[in-house]
Structure 1
């Protein structure tokens, strides 16, 4: 017998620029008759994309680095991340959102897109689903002057080799969860292709 879940209450307790924080109360009745109620805050925001552009010819990828307050508070530094952002109401599709974010943050036009996963980045506290993509791009064709960053953004574009990415993965030094997943997928794809 399977578990049954029932939403007992959901109340918005805080309104943010990017979504709301809701207090949600859910009752679970387990198949064996046990029952419990959980009430906790949940951040409700729009879904997002993350993309790792890869140039197969130069064996490079494009990453971003920017000030993140939470990371600064914890480690007094910055981390490298995959290009990512929210899906806007004006985006006609998830793929369109991916191309828009790449143009805005990286100043690059993406080639072929491949969606590799749709994941919950923080399943205990966020309803957001992140759509993860690999994409082709051409190294040297970035146009940072054409980027349209939000006024509170100061994004640095970083081009690194796939070998660097592989080393970071092996050393366990990738700190962005989206970049970690996309790096693993890209490197497994490269490995599978080279073995054929």
Structure 2
């Protein structure tokens, strides 16, 4: 099936702030053939995001950031999550520019190369956000401290971990967000190739 197999009957803007919420009435072609009934669906309209895992191939370390996340407040004993450097594409920028800018803002790191991992929808049942995921080459010596933009309310602590320790944190659930899990597992699978080309 293709985009042409969906008929948008009506689209209503329900909320517009930093994010938007739209309500769509639509119908789509069904696998048995023919168009299905009209459905009502809310859509969380977000800017696309860029997430990057800073990786030091010389030391075999990754740089992770820790910050408060309101989405984890009610469902986690600790709403300060270990994550990748990340930001929204909210200006006229390409994803690679966002990755490099956010690495400086959030971790005081310069990325000397970017390796695209994938692009994916984190929650396509109700959001149109698409994530651009990268590994970024960095020098982790001296990395650490607290960073972020004060005018955006950012309070971000930087951690340098051996890759094996980060993978253990995925296994035991200390790292529990999709972008971090995907990037760390990808790096575990492709570590030899990445180190070979970046060392």
- TM-score, normalised relative to structure 1: 0.88
Aligned match of 1:25 = 25
* Contact 2:119–2:130 (Cα < 8 Å) also in 1: yes
* Contact 2:144–2:157 (Cα < 8 Å) also in 1: no
Aligned match of 1:117 = 118
- Deviation sequence 1:19-42 (CA, Å, 0-9, x none): 210011220132423612221211
Separation in 2, partners of 1:66, 1:14: 27
- Deviation sequence 1:36-68 (CA, Å, 0-9, x none): 222121111111100001001111101111111
Q: What displacement does 1:141 show?
A: 4.9
Q: What displacement does 1:81 show?
A: 0.9
Aligned match of 1:85 = 87
Separation in 1, partners of 2:187, 2:139: 16
- Deviation sequence 1:104-129 (CA, Å, 0-9, x none): 11111001101111111111111111
- TM-score, normalised relative to structure 2: 0.86
Give the 3-state SS of the residue equivalent to 1:153 in structure 2.
coil
Q: What is the number of residues matched between the two proteins?
A: 193
Q: What displacement does 1:82 show?
A: 1.0
* Contact 2:143–2:160 (Cα < 8 Å) also in 1: no
Map 1:69-148 to 2 at 5 A: 69-77=70-78, 78-91=80-93, 93-142=94-143, 147-148=148-149
Map 1:146-165 to 2 at 5 A: 147-165=148-166
Q: What displacement does 1:162 show?
A: 0.4
Q: Which runs of 5+ in 1 are unaligned?
A: none
* Contact 1:108–1:141 (Cα < 8 Å) also in 2: no
Change (3 A) 1:149 1:190: farther
Q: Please give the root-mean-square deviation of Cα atoms over the aligned residues, in Å.
A: 2.4
- Deviation sequence 1:125-182 (CA, Å, 0-9, x none): 1111110000100012548577535431111111111011221233344211000110
Change (3 A) 1:159 1:193: closer
